[in-house]
Amino acid sequence: MVVGEALTDLLVDPATGVRRALPGGSPANVALGLGRLGHPVRLATRVGRDVFGGQVRSHLRDSGVLLTPGSVTGTPTSTATATLDASGAATYTFDIAWSLTREAVSSLRTGSPAHLHTGSVAAVLPPGAETVLAAVRWTAPRATVSYDPNLRPDLLGPPEEHRERVETLVAASDVVKASDEDLAWLHPGVDPEKTARRWAEGRGPSLVVLTRGAHGARAWWRAGSHPVPAPRVPVADTVGAGDAFTAALLSALLGAGLLGGTPGCRTRLRAATAHDRLPPVVVGALDLAARAAALTCTRPGADPPTGEELGL
């Protein structure tokens, strides 16, 4: 189960000013990535019955993602205008309203998922953020949880208004993936690696992964850290790369039985991160995630790879 926003990315070419409309939204991108990697996925979200909403629904359906009942509404589909610079990096402006219908909220408690993922705008923007937090709290005793803050400063108020909520979600999660930009904004003047290390050494997540764009990533756990190099690729843009990283990481950990809806999964993940070296299965999951992100950078928009493209 993935809970969070699905929207339309309006990509603006820096040279021509031409806009392209592509389906996006960080949680929806993670759901899409998991679907393409062969996992049955449900997405609790909010999209309209307009043209953009139809594109989003088709995009998700074609990769096996099912929208929960109540996810399609009569309100317009949210948009994020992404302006690309010369390197393909994107800055965003949003036109978004986030909440879940009563029917969608009810669907979150229809059966226990094997795993719950959430994050981004949905986890901090009222009024829907309260629903997301409630879903995490309900799921955590029943299944594993992952969280990606994926914060959007232009859409939010001062960082101090969001720190407590972010820290609460981190503490309730088994796996956290965050970017260095996220943590630099959330804790100004604090080295993002220091924050990632603090999260990993606390009572919450067993694994914290800090992504650093072209500089790769670093995984943190209670007993140590591990560098994850970024493959060198020609970059079309970086839209959705972090979400592809998250989807591939979760996919590999689910496949290894380190995430899931049985008590043994959480215990195995904690055991795998209890020593000063990560076991090969976790190192392999991190490397797969880096390759998935790199492949996504080679094509426009949030277009995560399939298992076949990753050689699985």
CATH code at 30?
3.40.1190.20
| Domain-embedded: residue 310 | no
Structural domain count of the chain: 1
Q: Is 24 exposed, middle or buried, given 0-12, 13-18 or 19+ CB atoms closer than 10 A? A: buried
Each residue of 201-215: b (16+ CB within 10 Å) or e? Answer: eeebbbbbbbbbbee
| Domain-embedded: residue 305 | no
- Distance of alpha carbon 73 from alpha carbon 261, whole angstroms: 30
- Whether the model clears a pTM of 0.75, i.e. scores above it, the answer is yes
SS3 state of residue 233: coil
Distance (Å) of CA 305 to CA 3, 125, 227, 267, 308: 21, 29, 23, 30, 8
| Domain-embedded: residue 274 | yes
| Domain-embedded: residue 304 | no
27: cis peptide before it, omega within 30°? Answer: no
pLDDT tens for each residue of the chain, 312 residues long:
999 999 998 877 777 777 788 899 999 999 999 999 999 999 999 999 999 999 999 999 999 999 999 999 999 999 988 777 766 676 778 888 899 999 999 988 887 899 999 999 999 998 999 999 999 999 999 999 999 999 988 888 899 999 999 999 999 999 999 999 999 999 999 999 999 999 999 889 999 999 999 899 999 999 999 999 999 999 988 889 999 999 999 999 999 999 998 889 999 999 999 999 999 999 999 999 999 999 999 998 889 999 999 998
| Domain-embedded: residue 239 | yes
- Distance of alpha carbon 112 from alpha carbon 105, whole angstroms: 14
Domain of 116, in residue numbers: 2-297
